[in-house]
């Protein structure tokens, strides 16, 4: 069905939406395809300021429903938006967040506004980023592995094939360049493409990638386990105190006092330095205790096995702590743990397989069991940390990855470890830099939202496009401190670090990569 609304100032694209036909998707069956022309279409803003409103879109809005052999009970939605005017000749697919494989209109709108044809998918699991409740378990309580496979990787392939084929049909030519753009879950999906489907995209932008999922998601529960074992549940005020104390201790290591720890790996702040200090929290005087310092130290170090060996990475000093070391006050006025939704839901649905399981009561032994259960049962499906990118490199793909060093959800240590393993596998830093570059942003929180005090990358996608289309490999990415000062910085390609070399501390020209 075609809904057409024209104004005197607009000229429609010569191709008719209704002439699009079902694309061929290997391993899948297309159930339906519906296309609608939309003129002067708007996508509203969504809180909390994750997506700005987009207006004045002129698009062919296509919805494709498909299913897979052996999983006919599941229907996957792929949405493709095709500009009716001023297509730039390129295609861009967008990723999701949390437990949602895509944001549909919310990411399609900004992408099409830039002239791209674009695609997004629900992977057949719906659009709820906060919980997999609707799809994780079968009626008998077993894990729905078909749904998990769609969420983990299969939907990335299907969306790209559908999006690129409909682009070819509509404009009569293949897109000159194809891109992936995503952060967090969207970043993990980008790495799915690079590892499993290396010929799908010419350029992949990956922010704070949720790779190592089977390990890092359980590791996110570690601070809650420590608080439960210590019977010490810190308030938001106390957590901010510890983050600020680390920043105060290590801020000026780089010669600039700006509230940013440039090199958290070499920050020697020890939470026990603050034991006995009295602070003001909500009008009350609170004394920092050994138990409080223990919670923070173990959070920064990361989860341990019974022999004291590190199972996974911890948070960096100075990073916000309010997501993973979170607590709340119950009806009795008692402070208790409050698990972050990603790890809480993963443990409930995929490990305990009990939606009512209480994750705040996990002890050290149970944590260890869950950690290895998660890795053993799910790493092969959702791990997404294969260091062999030789096929992606062979196809000429470019991968630009970035992450904030104050990310409090996806541990930067895991991302750095992945880059180091790729270097080892691919034959060194120089060969790896030919197609894969990592940029680490000091003081920046998860996907540059939340508590970010550092300089946020201005436009990493532009840097990727210049690399793919002009052969200009980025040595630095321009960045801005969004604290009202609009100070300019640079973010350097790993392992280099932007180092102050004199002059105006708010000018990018005062820094060089060392």
Three-state secondary structure readout of 273-328: HHCCCEEEECCEEEECCHHHHHHHHHHHHCCECCCCCECCCCCCCCCCCCCCCCEE
Q: Which pLDDT score, from 0 to 100, does residue 450 have?
A: 72
CA 296 to the chain's CA centroid = 24
Q: pLDDT under 50 in the chain at which residues?
A: 1-11, 49
Q: Which pLDDT score, from 0 to 100, does residue 44 have?
A: 85
- Shared domain check, 361 and 257: yes
Burial of 377 from C-beta contacts in 10 A (0-12 / 13-18 / 19+): middle
Helix axes 290-301, 222-230, angle to 10 degrees: 160
Residue 35 to residue 16: CA distance in whole angstroms: 9
pLDDT in tens, 431-470: 999 999 999 999 999 999 877 789 999 999 999 999 999 9
Integer angstrom CA distances of residue 305 from 84, 214, 268, 368, 457: 57, 16, 23, 7, 36
Q: Which pLDDT score, from 0 to 100, does residue 6 have?
A: 34
Q: Which pLDDT score, from 0 to 100, does residue 46 have?
A: 72
CA 23 to the chain's CA centroid = 29
501 lies in a domain?
A: no
Q: Which pLDDT score, from 0 to 100, does residue 70 have?
A: 80
- Shared domain check, 68 and 14: yes
- Shared domain check, 342 and 236: yes
- Shared domain check, 223 and 148: no
Range of the domain at 306: 217-381
187 lies in a domain?
A: no
Using DSSP's 3-state secondary structure scheme, residue 117 falls into strand
- Shared domain check, 229 and 167: no
140 lies in a domain?
A: yes
How many C-beta atoms surround the C-beta of residue 88 within 10 A?
A: 14
**What are residue 439's DSSP bridge partners?**
402, 493
Integer angstrom CA distances of residue 480 from 20, 119, 317: 43, 29, 22
Q: Which pLDDT score, from 0 to 100, does residue 50 have?
A: 60
- Shared domain check, 223 and 168: no
Q: Which two tokens stand for residue 493?
A: 């390609």
**Cβ(171)–Cβ(177) below 8 Å:** no
- Shared domain check, 150 and 37: yes
508 lies in a domain?
A: no
- Shared domain check, 231 and 134: no
184 lies in a domain?
A: no
- Shared domain check, 348 and 266: yes
Using DSSP's 3-state secondary structure scheme, residue 441 falls into strand
- Shared domain check, 254 and 138: no
Last residue of a domain, one of 326, 348, 381: 381
Q: Which pLDDT score, from 0 to 100, does residue 5 have?
A: 34
**Cβ(267)–Cβ(253) below 8 Å:** yes
- Shared domain check, 142 and 87: yes
110 lies in a domain?
A: no
Number of domains in the chain: 2
Residues identified as active-site: 184, 407, 446
- Shared domain check, 319 and 235: yes
72 lies in a domain?
A: yes
270 lies in a domain?
A: yes
Do β-strands 177-183 and 90-94 pair in parallel, antiparallel, or remain unpaired? parallel
How many C-beta atoms surround the C-beta of residue 22 within 10 A?
A: 16
């Amino acid at each position: 069905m075609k809904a057409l609304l024209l104004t005197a100032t607009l000229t429609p694209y010569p191709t008719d939406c209704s002439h699009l036909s079902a694309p061929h998707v290997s391993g899948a069956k297309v159930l339906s395809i519906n296309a609608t022309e939309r003129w002067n279409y708007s996508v509203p803003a969504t809180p909390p300021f994750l997506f700005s409103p987009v207006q004045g879109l002129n698009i062919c809005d296509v919805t494709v429903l498909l299913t897979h052999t052996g999983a006919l009970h599941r229907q996957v939605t792929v949405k493709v938006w095709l500009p009716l005017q001023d297509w730039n000749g390129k295609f861009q697919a967008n990723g999701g967040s949390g437990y949602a494989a895509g944001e549909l209109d919310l990411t399609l709108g900004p992408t099409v506004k830039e002239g791209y044809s674009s695609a997004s998918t629900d992977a057949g699991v719906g659009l709820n980023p906060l919980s997999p409740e609707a799809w994780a378990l079968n009626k008998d309580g077993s894990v729905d592995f078909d749904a998990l496979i769609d969420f983990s990787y299969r939907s990335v392939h299907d969306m790209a094939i559908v999006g690129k084929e409909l682009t070819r049909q509509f404009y009569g030519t293949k897109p000159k360049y194809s891109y992936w753009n995503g952060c967090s879950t969207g970043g993990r999906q980008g790495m799915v493409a690079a590892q499993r489907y290396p010929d799908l995209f010419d350029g992949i932008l990956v922010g704070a990638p949720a790779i190592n999922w089977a390990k890092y998601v359980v590791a996110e529960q570690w601070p809650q386990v420590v608080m439960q074992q210590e019977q010490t549940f810190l308030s938001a005020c106390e957590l901010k105190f510890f983050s600020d104390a680390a920043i105060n201790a290590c801020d000026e290591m780089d010669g600039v006092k700006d509230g940013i720890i440039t090199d958290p790996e070499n920050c020697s702040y020890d939470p026990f330095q603050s034991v006995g200090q009295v602070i003001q929290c909500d009008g009350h005087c609170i004394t920092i205790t050994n138990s409080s310092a223990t919670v923070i130290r173990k959070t920064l170090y990361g989860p341990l096995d019974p022999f004291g060996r590190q199972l996974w990475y911890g948070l960096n000093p100075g990073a916000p702590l309010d997501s993973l070391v979170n607590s709340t006050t119950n009806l009795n006025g008692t402070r208790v743990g409050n698990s972050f939704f990603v790890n809480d839901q993963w443990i409930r649905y995929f490990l305990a397989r009990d939606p009512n399981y209480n994750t705040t009561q996990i002890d050290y032994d149970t944590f260890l069991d869950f950690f290895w259960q998660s890795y053993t049962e799910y790493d092969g499906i959702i791990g997404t940390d294969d260091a062999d990118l030789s096929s992606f490199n062979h196809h000429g793909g470019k991968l630009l990855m970035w992450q904030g060093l104050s990310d409090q959800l996806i541990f930067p240590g895991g991302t750095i470890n992945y880059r180091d393993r790729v270097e080892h596998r691919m034959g060194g830093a120089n060969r790896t830099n030919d197609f894969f570059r990592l940029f680490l942003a000091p003081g920046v929180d998860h996907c540059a939202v939340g508590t970010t005090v550092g300089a946020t990358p201005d436009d990493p996608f532009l840097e990727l496009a210049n690399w793919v289309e002009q052969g200009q490999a980025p040595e630095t990415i321009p960045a801005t401190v969004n604290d009202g000062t609009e100070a300019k910085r640079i973010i350097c390609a790993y392992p280099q670090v932007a180092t102050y070399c004199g002059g105006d501390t708010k000018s990018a020209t005062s820094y060089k990569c060392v």
